[in-house]
Amino acid sequence: MQSFNDVWEKALVLIKPQISTVSYDSWINLLKPVKMENNIAYFYVRTLFQKGTIENNFISIINKALSDSVGFTVTAQIITESDAPPRIIEKAKENEARFNEVISQQEEYILGSQQKLTFDNFVVGNENKFAHAAALAVANNPGKAYNPLFIYGRSGLGKTHLMCAIANEIKRNKPDAVILYIKSEEFVIEMVDALQKGKMKDFRSKYRYVDALLVDDVQFIANKESIQEEFFHTFETLHEADKQIVLTSDRPPQEMLTLTERLRTRFLSGLPADIQPPDFETRCAIIKKKATSLGLELSNEVVEFVAQKLHTNVRELEGCINKIKAYNVLYNKRPSLETAQNAIASVISENMPSAISAELIMDTVARYYNTTVEELMGKKRTATIVTPRQIAMYICSEMTGMSLTEIGAAFGGKDHTTVLHSIKKIKELIEADPKLSQTTHDLMENIRKSF
């Protein structure tokens, strides 16, 4: 008979493709399996807020994954210390040692391994030295140097590293400082939950009484008017109190077309700092530094070979060195060019997008427009449903290899002519409406990041 932990591991495999990586890491990973009895699966989380967020956003997915894993209907029950029987809490605490890493992710200022992201292990080159200098100045004089600091650039270039380095440096200099790091998607989820439960006062207290607020991927709050309104007032409160604000984005504020003008001007009022892909010398330095941290000895030939082949993304470089280290341990010999070639091929293969499903696209679009997948697949013709449905169909045509007939089938059996009309309609609207164009772009980027 399989244990509850085995069941949960199987369920996680089913859950992961259905939600974004951010949601999975931020919420699903918090669940600690306690026991299963009478078709009820008990999970423990530390706070009522965590419980509420998971129940409001993911409980149906969890229930279905558990039921599919065991072959009969299972209902998940999420408990905290305040609402669970003592015997359940005792069982949860028995498992506490196994979940120390999960608990540590809820530290107030930096999540998990990001505490290791410091200025000391950030490699400075021509393409990032301005952003590095600005981040260092902010860390040493928060609220005074550049406020806000807005760091932008493509994914994988070190924006989050610099943001976390700021947080860690402030905390090192001022251990009592209250620092809050959050991804913008988490901000949105928390605000929606607070609105639904009438707990906006608690939500505002959390964000407006900190010494430093660091928000990653802030571009995802664009085109959400109520979210932007709340974020604006949070920004103003902190800024007027000389509290430090650090933001990251994949583009500068002036290119965030669906951002309100007053937020755009606030984002530009401090210091925008961009990060570009590393040049050859910087890539070599990154490779050497990563190898040294792993106790790995690489020849100059191998270093230069990797630097020549991987040239747009720091994460790819670090992933390649991790692979080389694994080969080194496995075969117990100094890495060669052949080893590097195999590692590069492996990293490139892993970073190739998986087949994007219509279900993932519909789920992402439905969440964005505050509707449901069922309504996108249904027959309602109201404007609040038709536009998201057409956008989802358009994205399916752009991001999958599905035919018009296959897309129609995925959307509840729609005719292929309906799909074709939807795609043409959205193409026309995108050309005429820059805001819708930006919204569609953001949705597609969010879908890509869900892998």
Which of residues 348 and 69 earns the better pLDDT score? 69
Give the mean pLDDT of the chain.
83
* pLDDT tens-digit map of 407-428: 999 999 998 889 999 999 998 8
Mean of the pLDDT values across residues 156-165? 90
Please identify which residue in the block is written with the tokens 């309609």: 425
Report cis status (omega within 30 of 0) of the bond before 33.
no
Q: Which domains does the chain have, with CATH numbers?
A: 4-104 (3.30.300.180), 112-274 (3.40.50.300), 280-351 (1.10.8.60), 358-448 (1.10.1750.10)
Residues in Cβ contact with 424 at an 8 Å cutoff, skipping those fewer than 6 apart: none
d(CA 107, CA 57): 22
d(CA 1, CA 150): 53
In this structure, are residues 10 and 69 in contact, taking their beta carbons and an 8 Å threshold? Answer: yes
Residue 248 is predicted with a pLDDT of: 93
**Whose CA is closest to 164, among 242, 107, 209?**
107
Residue 102 is predicted with a pLDDT of: 31
Least confident of 138-142, 152-156, 378-382: 152-156
Locate the DSSP E strands across 71-222.
75-79, 149-152, 179-183, 212-216
Mean of the pLDDT values across residues 386-405? 88
* pLDDT tens-digit map of 252-267: 888 777 788 888 999 9
Share of the chain above pLDDT 70, in %: 88
Residue 214 is predicted with a pLDDT of: 93
First to last CA, the chain: 32
Residue 94 is predicted with a pLDDT of: 52
Does the pLDDT of residue 89 top 70, yes or no? no
d(CA 390, CA 409): 14
The token pair that represents 222 in the structure block = 């664009």
Does the pLDDT of residue 352 top 80, yes or no? no
Residue 111 is predicted with a pLDDT of: 44
Which of residues 400 and 272 earns the better pLDDT score? 272
Mean of the pLDDT values across residues 63-91? 77
